[in-house]
Amino acid sequence: MTAPHSTPTALVHGVAVAGAAVARALAARGYRVLLADDAPDDAKRELAGELGTELIERPGTDAIARLLAQVDLVSPAPGVPETHELVRAALATGVALRTEIDLAHEWEQERPGGPRPMVAITGTDGKTSTTMLAAALLTAGGLRAAAVGNTEMPFVAALDDDVDAFAIECSSFRLSWIRSFRSEAAVWLNLAPDHQNWHVSMDSYERAKANIWLHQRSSDVAVGCTDDAVVMRHLAAARARRVTFGLGDGDHHVVGSLDASGDRRMLASASGAYASVASLRRCLPHDLSNALAAASACIESGLVAPGCIDAGLAEFRVPPHRIEPVGELDGVTWYNDSKATTPHAALTAIRSFDMQVLIAGGRNKGLDLSSLAGASARIRTVVAIGEAAGEVAAAFDGRCPVVMADSMPAAVAAARTAARPGDAVLLSPACASFDWYPTGGYPARGDHFRQLVADMTRAVAPGTLIGGPPT
């Protein structure tokens, strides 16, 4: 469909962080930009004024039809689901749907001097940590690297930055509908049910993830995890050179042992060992898997020499809200894993501890929470919170005691009562946070939990707080 304007016209729907960055980038490249949003506020109206346009607020069916008749492309923000009326109408009328990373990739190809190399990472869990790991490894290899995409920095907002390479976190939202996006190395970590309130089906979610390898060339590298059968099935069809990783097997794997005499484990490939596991500041199983994923992508793409991996691992800091230690009291250690918004992510955390009190619940994303009970032998008590508290309680019925809490302070108090010396208390909700924390999301939930634990430990035993992001 061609819009009736000689100047190309784009509609950006949803103008929070990513949408605003896309709107500004489109305007800077000569597009006439229209803005629409289902949750308008003054900041979004100010953006419209900045761009010399108006904000169409909560467009209905007729307004959507009028907007689509004017535009050459639609860029839905990551939060706009494929079930949205605008997305369905654009697909039905043939108006191009373009995501943030797809547009950024297209513009990067036009960069004077040529495009910069990219390492892309997707997966249900571990994307952010692996993206930041990849950026740390690229930096250790002598490149100025930026971690972008589904991070605090959209890819389009970093195109003018003075960097040598990009590590790009690719959510399924950003991989849907891509027309050109590709990277020299592309990693798919895992697949588990998630975002069923965004995608029309699990098949749609899987297809979006698989798009990370869709446009790769034979000279690129596709990296997949041997522990995930779905990932391996798609990897077998990838056009790029295929590389695998896994704790026990794969082209990149772990060798050596961990015993009373110390940690002698190494990351290794067919060419031999190249980095010490002890270089990592935290060595939970998923930390090792993420390190293998990032290292294999950076090494196999030729962007980082194997001898630089140790230094990159040592510099990496685990992002907050990911099994983050936040306090210790009476022999109980408290952990903030607020980022775990799916059962798959929560199980990764639960299996990291021998015995714990689990705080779980929130707003379910249309997922089956019953799988959580598979780890009930490691759970002393469950504290159920949020809208999904009843679902959490049902999942653990007959498996372990469940306490209901109607606020985060109540959850912390209940967890303290239930925990015993040597236990962990783990906030790993397996659900989204927008019921209790509608504006701040999982970081606000984790920050609140961290503060409550800090207040408790200071009040009871000053000086015992671990505090701060993990080191």
Residues 6+ apart with CB under 8 A from 450: 324, 326, 327, 336, 467
∠234-236-242 over CA atoms, to 5°?
A: 105
Per-residue pLDDT at 461: 52
What are the Cα distances from residue 455, in Å, to 308, 322, 412? 41, 20, 11
Superfamily (CATH) of domain 324-460: Mur ligase, C-terminal domain (3.90.190.20)
Is residue 466 predicted with pLDDT exceeding 60?
no
pLDDT at residue 95 above 80? yes
Mean pLDDT (the chain, rounded): 93
CATH architecture of 9-98: 3-Layer(aba) Sandwich (3.40)
Tokens representing 42? 């003054």
Please tell me the distance from the alpha carbon of residue 352 to that of residue 373, in angstroms, as a whole number. Answer: 15
Residue 280 above 80 pLDDT? yes
Tens-place pLDDT, residues 99-140: 999 999 999 999 999 999 999 999 998 999 999 999 999 999
Q: Which of 122, 154, 121 is nearest to 19 (CA)?
A: 154
pLDDT at residue number 462: 47
Cβ distance 75 to 90 under 8 Å?
no
| Residue 451 token pair | 């503060």
Segment 404-424 shows an average pLDDT of 97
Instruction: Report residue 471's pLDDT band, with 50, 70 and 90 as the boundaries.
Output: very low
pLDDT for residue 5: 53
The ranges of the chain annotated as CATH 3.40.1190.10 are 102-315
Query: Does domain 102-315 correspond to CATH entry 3.40.1190.10?
Result: yes
Delimiting residues of CATH 3.90.190.20 domain(s) in the chain: 324-460
Q: Where in the chain is the domain with CATH 3.40.50.720?
A: 9-98
Place of tokens 């010396």: 421
Round to whole Å and give the CA distance between 109 and 111: 6
> Could you tell me the end-to-end alpha-carbon distance of the chain, in angstroms, rounded to an integer?
52
Q: Which tens digits make up the pLDDT trace of 307-332? A: 999 999 999 988 899 999 999 999 99
pLDDT of residue 428: 98
pLDDT at residue 467 is higher than 90: no
**3-state DSSP assignment of residue 244:** strand
Q: What is the mean pLDDT of residues 460-471?
A: 42
How far, in Å, are 402, 411, 467 from residue 416 at the CA level? 14, 9, 17
